[in-house]
Structure 1
Amino acid sequence: MWYNTKATALLGIEYPIMQGPFGGGLSTVELVATVSNAGGLGGYGAYTLSPQEIYEVNKRIIAATNKPYNLNLWVSDTDAIDGTVSDDHFEQAKALFKPYFEEAGIALPEKPAPFKSRFENQVEVVLDIRPKVFSFMFGIPSADILEQCRRLGIKTVGAATTLDEAIALDAAGVDMIIASGFEAGGHRPSFLAPAEQSTTGTFVLVQLIKEKAKAAVIAAGGIANGRGIAAALTLGADAAQMGTAFLATDESGALPIHRQMLFSNAARHTTLSLAFTGRLGRGITSRIAKDLIGKERQFLPFPLQTTFMSTLRKGALDQQKLDMILFWGGQIAPILKHTNAANLMQSLIKETSAIMGI
């Protein structure tokens, strides 16, 4: 059976289909529960949440499903030295983005307050609530954290954008490694080299990691239907993780206009850009992303750039200036068909079964 893989055995799920965990309010309990109840693995991106908020979300998830699910955190959640930037750097960013704020009729924001990493407090909650799966991006948790996960029966999943990162994750003893190809929407979770240098495609990366690592491999990026899942499994992946396809469903936390954009002709064109958050991420091509190519040194580091751009995003949404907004999405968006998560899961299972054989 195509669905009897190392991943399904490890995670206790029926099908090796994983929903990518979204940060920034895009994850929902409804989407997680829908995917998990259908036999896959739902995922909730919790890196923006406080410890108490993670507790509350987890209560709602376990009330909605008794199946395994995944909680996701970011090991490195800031690029700002001492959590801030110099006044000179901030003034450069203001000057660069001033025309866009003026066009939208929005006052330039004040310098963001210093940011303090939340990961250590967040991971304490994960260890306390013991989800079946704890996934992480932008680095590797300490050996002590990983050992505690092993003792508590929490399966660990790390994200790699290069073979070197996968080898490092494997050496740390994670249970599964996500092969995150450059086709994927959202942030590039690189941690050993700059994300701009970590642009290997999903199906190349899957084969490289399968050859060199002991851990189970999850293909992520450029997969949105049964053909993609079948291709990933054929190349040696133990599971496939999909983000954009699930983000486009009504159950996700994406705004209606975001979901509409993923089904529009605009989704044919995506760009990797630092302009909106300070970390490289893929979304539907916007005017700001194109205008500011080559001026990345003037951007604020993550997450200060996110804070800086938040009022512009809100104003642009209110005024329907859609070319000033980053709508997260991967290169596979033009083939999306489903707006209902349960229907998407049924289609993925049916298509993969038809190709791989039951």
Structure 2
Amino acid sequence: MADWTDTHFTRDFGVTYPIVQGPFGGGISRVELTAAVSDAGGLGSFGAHHLHPSELDATLAQLSAATDRPFAVNLWVPLPGEPRTLDPRTHARQSDALAPWFRRARIDAPAYRAPAPPDFEAQVEVLLERRPAVFSFVFGIPEPDILAECRRRGIRTLGAATHLDEGLALRDAGVNAVVASGYEAGGHRPAFLRPAEDSIATGPLTAQLSAALDIPVIAAGGIADGRGIASALMLGADAVQVGTAFLATDQSGAPEAHKQMLRSPRARYTALTTAFSGRLARGIRNEFLDEHANADLPPYPQQLWLTAPIKAAAAHSGDAELLALWSGQGAPLLSERRDATEVFEHLVAGTTRTLRSAACR
């Protein structure tokens, strides 16, 4: 059996194992989780798209102090045409529509304010100054001068594709590796050239990208054990990205009610929804998701801002029916292990065992 850990990805990105921890947005990434995965020999990731520049700077300092191994910081590339603030009319209309849910969460509807998302270019300036080993991004491709500056500073770049068209665009832009983000993946669908609904399943997408690209391809979506990792490697992936299995660990910042749902029979039933953020994302079905299946909702980030108080109250009270229960379709495969390092070691051992068994056959 060939050494499955010796891949284009591990050599180029300076890690021991071709396993990437999926970045979690919305404030549920934790320094402790990122460091644990990196220290175990994988590539830990921190979802930082929600952080304003000063917050991002402080987080990068904490990450650098927590581990001396490579880690990735993930940002969201702004999509053209999306609103940059919340107008009073949309706030009033959607606050009325959400009134039953505010009551359910036992909170008042928030007064109008005009929030603004963090400035992407300012975030990038902080990242370039701090120089993490890897800059990962979703929902598009940063401007050529940003990618050129990353190369000049020795920062590896990692973009996400949901379709072959997007993978080819990332390659042509000079990105160092591509995440094949399959339909099965939990959380947001990071499409940017094709509609998010056109996402391809992880297996076919991985095979297509690995055949077409000469840079590392990282399979993502529905991979939660060693069998999934082995399968992805045999399809041509140079590495895998695992999200849900790490989201359920003690080091994750997900609410405890979310973690319990990931390990429950309910995790068998996921759906794609725009209910929580205004962008299409996969989560475990609950009352809030099902009630908004066919609703006319504001786009991202307006819907995200409007539902944020409900989710915050639900996290505090433990009401899983109001939470964004992001989950991939691999959740029913989770082991009972809750420590991130033990989960990582279990993934490594399972991959080795599966590949050895396949070689014996």
The answer to whether the superposition gives a TM-score over 0.5 is yes
Seen in structure 2, the aligned counterparts of structure 1 residues 64 and 334 have a Cα distance that, compared at 3 Å, is same
1:240-266 deviations in Å (ceiling 9; x for gaps): 000000010001111222111111111
CA distance in 2, matches of 1:77, 1:315: 29
1:112·1:304 contact (CA, 8 Å) conserved in 2?
Answer: no
* Residues 79 and 303 in structure 1, CA contact (< 8 A), matched pair in contact too: no
Q: 2:301 aligns with which of 288, 300, 303?
A: 303
Aligned pairs (5 A) from 1:15-26: 15-26=17-28
- Of 284-293 and 182-191, more deviation after overlay is shown by 284-293
Q: Does 1:254 align with 2:239?
A: no
Match of 2:310 among 309, 312, 317: 312
> 1:28 is matched with which residue?
30
Matched, 1:350 2:352: no
Aligned-pair CA distance for 1:327? 1.3
Match status 1:232 vs 2:232 = yes
Letter in 1 for 2:328: G
Shift in Å at residue 86 of structure 1?
A: 6.1
Q: Deviations over 1:93-146 (max 9, x none)?
A: 233322222344432223441425511000011111111111000110000000
| Letter paired with 1:18 | V
Does the CA contact (< 8 Å) of 2:177 and 2:216 recur in 1? Answer: yes
Write the distance in 2 (CA, Å) between the matches of 1:223 and 1:201.
Answer: 12
CA contact (8 A) 1:219 1:232 kept: yes
* Greater mean deviation of Cα atoms: 76-85 or 244-253: 76-85
How far the C-alpha of 1:286 sits from its partner, in A, is: 1.4
Pair 283,79 (structure 1): closer, same or farther in 2 beyond 3 Å: farther
SS state of the match for residue 241, structure 1?
A: strand
Pair 1:133–1:209, CA change in 2 (3 A): same
Take 2:70 and 2:315, find their aligned partners in 1: how far apart are those partners? 36
Report the residue type matching 2:306 in the other structure: F
Residues 38-77 of structure 1 correspond to what in structure 2 (within 5 A)?
A: 38-76=40-78
Task: Give, in whole Å, the separation in 2 of the partners of 1:274 and 1:51.
Answer: 27
Any stretches of 5+ residues in structure 2 without a counterpart? none
Shift of 1:59: 1.8
Gap change, CA 1:240 and 1:301, over 3 Å in 2: same
| Structure 2 SS opposite 1:83 | coil
* C-alpha distance in structure 2 between counterparts of 1:327 and 1:79, whole Å: 27
The alignment partner of 1:192 has SS state of coil
1:162–1:112 distance in 2 versus 1, CA, 3 Å: farther
Tell me how far apart the structure 1 counterparts of residues 315 and 347 of structure 2 sit (CA, whole Å).
Answer: 33
Trace 1:197-216 onto structure 2 (pairs within 5 A).
197-216=197-216
| Aligned-partner Cα distance in 1 for 2:148–2:123 | 17
Deviation at 1:80, TM superposition (A): 3.6
Q: How many residues align?
A: 354
After TM superposition, give the deviation of residue 150 of structure 1 in Å.
0.8
| Cα deviation code 1:10-44 (max 9, x no counterpart) | 10111000101111221111111111111111001
How far apart, CA to CA, are the structure 2 residues paired with 1:253 and 1:39? 21
Matches within 5 A, 1:126-145: 126-145=127-146
Q: Give the counterpart letter for 1:322 in structure 2.
A: A
Q: Work out which of the residue numbers 7, 10, 21 in structure 2 matches 1:8.
A: 10
Residue 78 of structure 1: how far off its partner (Å): 8.3
Q: Deviations over 1:243-298 (max 9, x none)?
A: 00001000111122211111111111111111111111111101122122222x3x
> What letter matches 1:333 in structure 2?
A
For 2:98, what is the secondary structure of its paired residue?
helix
For the 8 Å contact 1:111–1:308, the answer to whether it is kept is no
| Aligned twin of 2:320 | 322
CA-to-aligned-CA distance 1:281-320 (integer Å, 9 cap, x gap): 111101122122222x3x2221221221122223334454
* CA gap 1:251/1:78 in 2 versus in 1, 3 angstroms: farther
1:333 aligns with 2:319: no
Give per-residue Cα distances to partners, 1:314-336, cap 9 Å, x unaligned: 33344544222221111111111
Instruction: Say whether 1:123 aligns with 2:115.
Output: no
Contact 1:41 1:70 in 2 (8 A): yes
The residue identity in structure 2 corresponding to 1:243 is G
Q: Which amino acid aligns with 2:43?
A: L
| Aligned mates of 1:41, 1:303 — CA distance in 2 | 29
RMSD between aligned residues: 1.8
